[in-house]
Amino acid sequence: MQSGLLLVNLGSPASPQTADVRTYLKTFLSDPSVIEMPAAIWQPILRGMILPLRSWRSATFYQHIWTKDGSPLIVYTRKLCEQVRALLPNWNVQYAMTYGEPAIDQTLTTMRESCDRIVLLPLFPQYTQSTHGGIIRQAQATGAPLSIVRHFYQEPAYLDILASQVRQAYQEADYDAVLFSYHSIPTAMVKHGDPYPTECHATTQGVLDRLPDLPKDKVQTVFQSKFGPMPWQKPYLKNTLMQLVELGKRNVLIATPSFVADCLETLEEDYVQNYQTFEASGGDRFQMVPPMNDDPRFGHFLAALAQKQLAQGGDDHA
């Protein structure tokens, strides 16, 4: 028997066509970890209003970012898995998606045949129920012998890489503001004790501690990708961009530490929609710090983190 490592990312539609996007959104937005509203109330809204209206529009966005190899998120996750597999030749290293293919349950069921211990590593640095809840529930339902990495925002090696990326981008131009933009979550989750905002602010601070030359008064932590009418964690990125221009700050650098791979949120929402908002408001330079993607340093970090997790023990049983 051998040790196993399962890297898990969010997932992507099977194709950028409307039918596949609708299937993906239906699965994603039916997860009780993402939508806490009772199913009897939420499902009629989802099926009757949201899916008919959102599927086509989201499909056009996916078509903008799709590559010849497929979804960028899937492509980078696969490349990352290949890197880590080469670094851990005696391990069974696989990847899976919370929604879509390859599925968590099927992948873990196969891994159980050869693995006596499996490290489950969600590719989300900061813990939140809305990402980790579905992953952990699906994984534990298989009965696989799991050791779960619940977050890694605080790991020095991860913060070193992130700080290096921000430093390099910041040195390339004269920026008026540096925004650390994280995927938002509903404020109701925060009120129920979700640690996500605290971990996001700690991530920003961890980077600032490593960049003493970055003026602290230029830095803000913001949130993006709000969904639906309910209040989500603020301040919102889009509103902040418009406010910065009003203050005469027209050159902005944006880091997105909650996304380890380019995806719809970074490539379409930020580089297209938020850039257009910024430019229309009078902004000049709008630059993104690339996510980790297939940076070899990140692959080495994940391999070391898996080994550390296994050495520390801490099994999580269904």
* CA separation for the pair 177, 39 (Å, rounded): 42
Tokens of 302: 């994940």
Query: Which residues, in sequence order, are CB contacts of 215 under 8 Å at separation 6+?
Result: none
- Residue 89 burial (CB < 10 Å; 0-12/13-18/19+)? exposed
* 147 contacts 313 by C-beta, under 8 angstroms: yes
Half-sphere exposure (Cβ direction) of 116: Cα atoms closer than 13 Å: 4
Is 269 annotated in a binding site? The answer is: no
The dihedral sign for the CA sequence 207, 209, 214, 217: positive
Residue type, 96: A
* CA separation for the pair 167, 23 (Å, rounded): 40
Is 265 annotated in a binding site? The answer is: yes
Residue type, 55: S
67, 96, 68, 100: which is closest to 80 by C-alpha? 96
**What are the strands, taking DSSP E only, across the chain?**
2-11, 92-99, 115-122, 146-148, 177-183, 219-224, 251-255, 285-288
Q: Residues annotated in the binding site, as ranges?
A: 183, 265
Q: Residues annotated in the binding site for Fe(2+), as ranges?
A: 183, 265
